[in-house]
Structure 1
Amino acid sequence: MVADSNSQIAWHRAQIRKQREALKHLETARFTVGEIARSKAADRTQETVAELKRKIRESEAIVAAHERQTRRPMTTDHQTLASAQWSNWNARGSSNS
Structure 2
Amino acid sequence: MSSTLTIFAAAGMLALTVPGSAFATNGFLRIDGVVHNHPLGCYEVAQLSTVLNFTDVPVRVHNVPGCQGNVVQIIPPGLATQVPGTHSILVKDPFTP
Report the TM-score when normalising by structure 2.
Answer: 0.30
The structure with the largest alpha-carbon Rg is: 1
